[in-house]
Structure 1
């Protein structure tokens, strides 16, 4: 809340404004919360991508191994 104090003399008017810094502090706190939230959201997204890449790599490895096993079985039956 802003308090105004007006002092008048015959030739000069002085207006002093005093405001609490609460609005600025709240703004900084909200900005910090948004930055921290965005950081953790990006970290979570990166870990999901890494997990998906690991699963894809494992599936390709299993596919390659099964192809080799199938070729070995087909070669033995002939």
Structure 2
């Protein structure tokens, strides 16, 4: 249960971050600081990286919980 809850909250934080980055890329494109191609590449890469991180997080959280809850046999 803890792993699911931590993964959901982390995925929400990651999606907010990616959405904010996309807004910055669009703003930079409108100000002519970056080209359209660069805006598309940066937006796509941030979405893909965000999805990869959000999909790997449950496994990482499960490993951390297993490490915390591990009890050494006597």
Fold equivalence (TM over 0.5): no
What TM-score do the two structures reach when normalised by structure 2? 0.42
Flag the structure with more relative contact order, 1 or 2, with Cα contacts below 8 A and sequence separation at least 6.
2
Whose helix fraction is larger, Structure 1's or Structure 2's? Answer: 2
What TM-score do the two structures reach when normalised by structure 1? 0.40
Whose strand fraction is larger, Structure 1's or Structure 2's? Answer: 1
Quick check: which has more Rg, 1 or 2?
A: 1
